Amino acid sequence: ALLPYVPRVPPAALPGKLTATTFALERPCCVFDRHANASDAVWLAVAFANASAAFRNPPSRAEVPLYEQLPTARSYMTLETAAAAYACSAPNLAILRVGNDTTCGGQGGRDPCNGPLPSPGPYRVKFLVMGCHGPKAETRWSDPILLRRAGSPSTIDPAPMRRSSDVAIIASILASLGAALAAAVLGAVGAEAWASLCRRDSGTFAHRSYRTHHIPPALPQPLPPGCGCGCSPPGLGCFAPRPPGPCPAK
């Protein structure tokens, strides 16, 4: 049976939707329910766009073209999946990824494999329902799918490099400003701490100096005998004997 479904790459933006070796496909949900049973499998046929018309459905699983034959046969089949996985009642992922198995190539070509695509293409794909006795239903071929190409060095835009340089210069300026601000803050904090220590030490020293160096006033001393009025002012003692003289009149 030829089904009206046409495989396609999802139209919405999707990371890795098209790369140099892989592409994404919408998952064909509810497409095979009337044409497949639980024992059937759904395959994806991948062919170079100019070879899709020459592709012939294999009569049995044993004759499925393998991934390693793509360079010569120009087509292969992959993503063997139970038909029940595409039923309306089954929980389905949104997309299928074609070409994402990087371990392909070391199996000696014995098993189907979903290996990286060797060139940008373009490719065409279709889904094929295979039963125990051969093909049962198939979709239409997709429109050509062209993968991304690696750009040549001459087409690299130098603008990102300039933007990176500008970002580096701005980051350097900001780092310098940050260092200057940190130094100013540390200087202010240090000055405040030093002033606080000086105030604390000054008060302590003043209090201590008053306590340790205060000299109480001298008490008056009695006059030596015989000095009479010839003594120095009271409290300082006599410096030299003076001849007795008349005492001042009272």
Read off φ and ψ for residue 199, nearest 5 degrees.
-60, -40
pLDDT in tens, 4-14: 999 999 999 88
In a domain, 161, yes or no: no
In a domain, 238, yes or no: no
CATH number at residue 52: 2.60.40
Of the pLDDT bands very low, low, confident and very high (cuts 50, 70, 90), residue 187 is: low
In a domain, 212, yes or no: no
In a domain, 81, yes or no: yes
**Alpha-carbon torsion, ordered 76, 81, 84, 86, to 10 deg:** -60
Question: Which comes out higher in pLDDT, residue 240 or 62?
Answer: 62
In a domain, 25, yes or no: yes
Long-range contacts of 194-203 (CB under 8 A, 24+ apart): none
pLDDT in tens, 17-37: 999 999 999 999 999 988 988
Nearest to 170 by CA among 178, 181, 160, 159: 178
In a domain, 169, yes or no: no
41-48 vs 75-82, strand pairing mode: antiparallel
Look at the chain and report how many structural domains it folds into.
1
Domain range enclosing 96: 2-149
Of the pLDDT bands very low, low, confident and very high (cuts 50, 70, 90), residue 111 is: confident
- pLDDT at residue 74 is higher than 80: yes
- Cα separation, 141 vs 47, in Å, equals 10
Query: Which of the listed ranges 100-104, 133-137, 245-249 does the model predict with the highest average pLDDT?
Result: 133-137
Amino acid at 154: S
Contacts of 125 (CB under 8 A, 6+ apart): 7, 25, 44, 45, 46, 47, 98, 141, 142, 145
pLDDT of residue 140: 97
Read off φ and ψ for residue 126, nearest 5 degrees.
-150, 155
In a domain, 86, yes or no: yes
